[in-house]
């Protein structure tokens, strides 16, 4: 028996047709919003308390919020909290004074943080590629050195003394290059891999803002 479901059609209506143009539009939109809120609640929370936007961005950068450099201390604090809740996805909650409440600033800060961490993630990816590329070069040099020495010994196109002198250099160079390069390819620096994963998650996570009243 073929089971027909209306969910795909409702999804299309929800995304491409205004809510007032079909019955039940408001209900479907409310349901989608409720599901999204529930997913956010299910995520682990990393809470950060700030006194001003200067705690998020560099004190020495006078540019607007959308252009300011993200504070290194803020990123380090997020990394510290991330280590405590590494498993699974998470949501960043920034607690700020009520005086900072402004919807446009929230959107600007959240978008700027995502772009900043996406950039750092790409930088880590490039660093990992460079390490692995060096590893591949090391392996090629090692194999080439050992292969040349083996062929020279077998076919004797060099004199015995020349082969012995070459072996002094090529033998350790070959084995070092092979094993060192292999370690770079197989066991890339864990710190780089962890940072790349960390920044990638920060570039895709949800940033929400909550405000607290100043205590007298």
DSSP output for the chain: -----SHHHHHHHHHHS-GGGSTTHHHHHHHHHHHHHHHHHHSEEEEEE-SSGGGTB-TT--S-TTTSPBPHHHHHHHHHHHHHT-SS-EEEEEEEEGGG--HHHHHHHHHHHHHHHHHHHHHHHHHHHHHHHHHHHHHHHHHHHHHHHHHHHHH--S-HHHHHHHHHHHHHHHHHHHHHHHHHHHS--HHHHHHHHHHHHHHHSEEEEEEEPPP-
Contacts of 210 (CB under 8 A, 6+ apart): 93, 94, 95, 96
Contacts of 197 (CB under 8 A, 6+ apart): none
Domain ranges of the chain: 43-212
Contact present, 89 and 43 (Cβ < 8 Å): yes
Strand 44-49 and strand 206-212: the pairing is unpaired
Confidence category of residue 20, pLDDT binned at 50, 70, 90: very low
Contact present, 15 and 28 (Cβ < 8 Å): no
pLDDT tens, position by position, 26-60: 443 445 555 555 554 556 888 899 998 888 988 78
Confidence category of residue 133, pLDDT binned at 50, 70, 90: very high
pLDDT for res 214: 66
User: Beta-carbon neighbour count of residue 152 at 10 Å?
Assistant: 17
Distance from C-alpha of 25 to C-alpha of 46, rounded to nearest angstrom: 34
Distance from C-alpha of 113 to C-alpha of 202, rounded to nearest angstrom: 8
pLDDT tens, position by position, 103-127: 998 999 999 999 999 999 999 999 9
Q: The whole model's pTM is what? A: 0.70
pLDDT tens, position by position, 135-179: 999 999 999 999 999 999 989 888 999 999 999 999 999 999 999
């Amino acid at each position: 028996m073929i089971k027909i479901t209306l969910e795909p059609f409702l999804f299309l209506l929800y995304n491409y047709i205004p809510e007032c143009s079909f019955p039940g539009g408001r209900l479907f939109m409310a349901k989608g919003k409720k599901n999204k809120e529930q997913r956010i609640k299910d995520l682990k929370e990393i809470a950060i308390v700030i006194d001003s936007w200067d705690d998020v961005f560099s004190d020495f950068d006078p540019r607007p919020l959308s252009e300011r450099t993200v504070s290194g201390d803020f990123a380090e604090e997020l990394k510290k909290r991330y280590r405590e809740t590494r498993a699974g996805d998470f949501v960043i909650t920034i607690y700020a004074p009520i005086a900072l409440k402004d919807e446009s600033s929230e959107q600007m800060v959240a978008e700027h943080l995502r772009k900043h961490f996406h950039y750092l993630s790409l930088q880590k990816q490039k660093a990992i590629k460079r390490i692995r590329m060096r590893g591949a070069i090391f392996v090629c040099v090692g194999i080439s050195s050992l292969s040349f020495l083996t062929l020279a010994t077998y076919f004797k196109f060099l004199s015995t003394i020349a082969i012995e002198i070459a072996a002094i250099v090529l033998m350790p160079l070959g084995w070092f290059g092979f094993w060192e390069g292999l370690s770079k390819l197989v066991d890339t620096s864990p710190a780089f891999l962890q940072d790349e994963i960390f920044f990638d998650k920060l570039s895709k996570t949800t940033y929400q803002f909550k405000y607290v009243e100043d205590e007298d």
